[in-house]
Amino acid sequence: GLPGVPARPLAVRRVSRRIQVGSVAVGGDAPVSVQSMTTTVTADIGATLQQIAELTASGCQIVRVACPSQDDADALPVIAKKSQIPVIADIHFQPKYVFAAIDAGCAAVRVNPGNIRQFDDKVREIAKAASDAGTPIRIGVNAGSLDRRLLEKYGKATPEALVESALWEASLFEEHGFRDIKISVKHNDPVVMINAYRQLAAQCDYPLHLGVTEAGPVFQGTIKSAVAFGALLSEGIGDTIRVSLSAPPAEEIKVGMQILESLGLRQRRLEIVSCPSCGRAQVDVYKLADQVSAGLEGMEVPLRVAVMGCVVNGPGEAREADLGVASGNGKGQIFVKGEVIKTVPESKIVETLIEEAMTIAEGMTAA
């Protein structure tokens, strides 16, 4: 198992077929991957590659780029070639861009069945082109652009409607022997979304891309996504995730990684265990936790650092961590692997913790 990942997972993973999105496997026993989408105009190759580089640096594993025009389609070959991570072209209205994206060497193509007009006639050709190139297709159903036929049948974007749309589209590909597919059924309401994915998970073995669409600004979007993904992933459902936030895409990656880390589905990096503070606190816990977080940001090793306001629960938690401090009396007891290694004045707590963290990290990387 991975260090920092619980030996016993929350749930047995749903059995799904494994597909290959460029260098990243999705489904089967592949780790749940984190993805995002660029916000640049795709045709602006420099800006798009710059943002992809930033996303890659923040931990993004797969990136999606919108392709609403011919200029965007024309930019895909260079972007697909120069990106450090697999690029998925996101196509809404025009089948011709699906072919362009496959030709461009994109790692996958996302299509929206509700949005592509006369798409059904084109499925055979798309299936052939995708199959020849080994390019998987994501069928991305979105509540906001549900097939009119299903909207009429169900009255609104219910879980059943989302699932029917996705499986109908998948069946069109299956008729041509194409099964290199992953599916998403996104909705802005986590309850609808959770039910849709549960139903979908029970009815097919395709890998699933989880998303709460239009989740909102950072605070609300983070919570909606964490709740929805948490419910599904803890049932073993979900193979890749995209957090949608009205914020720069690197924020989405931070949140996505944190969700997977919290569920033990991804190796933890830095974790700060800090107390909420209370009337017993003898130090400004918020400030101390912020300073320690800031000082240790970017550390790549799994390290649990406890920042505790007093000596009641402090030493206990600090002992459970790799490193910690329990404050009291204007001093901080510094713990490493359960042992008090020194006591320092309050003003030295932050720098001591950072120093000790660096020493532990060096030991971990050397090992």
Annotated binding site for [4Fe-4S] cluster: 275, 278, 310, 317
Query: 296-306: string of b/e by CB count within 10 Å (b at 16+)?
Result: beebebbbbbb
| Residue 284 touches ligand SF4, criterion: CB under 6 A | no
Q: Which is nearer to ligand SF4, 69 or 277 (CB)?
A: 277
Residue 138 in contact with residue 181, Cβ under 8 Å? yes
CB of 326 to ligand SF4, least distance (A): 7
Which residue type, as a one-letter code, is found at position 320? E
Question: Binding segment for ligand SF4 among 100-108, 191-199, 257-265, 277-285 (CB under 6 A)?
Answer: 277-285
Residue 95 in contact with residue 126, Cβ under 8 Å? yes
CB of 323 to ligand SF4, least distance (A): 16
Hey, how many other C-beta atoms are within 10 angstroms of the C-beta on 23?
A: 11
Q: Which is nearer to ligand SF4, 250 or 312 (CB)?
A: 312
**From candidates 262, 277, 291, 293, binder to ligand SF4 by CB under 6 A:** 277
| Residue 321 touches ligand SF4, criterion: CB under 6 A | no
Q: How far apart are CA 5 and CA 304, in angstroms?
A: 12
Can you tell me which residue has the tokens 């299936």? 127
CB of 284 to ligand SF4, least distance (A): 11
Q: Which is nearer to ligand SF4, 164 or 322 (CB)?
A: 322
Q: How far apart are CA 211 and CA 225, in angstroms?
A: 7
Q: How far apart are CA 31 and CA 108, in angstroms?
A: 18
| Residue 316 touches ligand SF4, criterion: CB under 6 A | no
User: What is the H or E stretch that residue 144 is in?
Assistant: none
Residue 52 in contact with residue 35, Cβ under 8 Å? no
| Residue 275 touches ligand SF4, criterion: CB under 6 A | yes
| Residue 245 touches ligand SF4, criterion: CB under 6 A | no
Residue numbers at the binding site for ligand SF4 (CB under 6 A):
275-278, 280-281, 308-310, 312-314
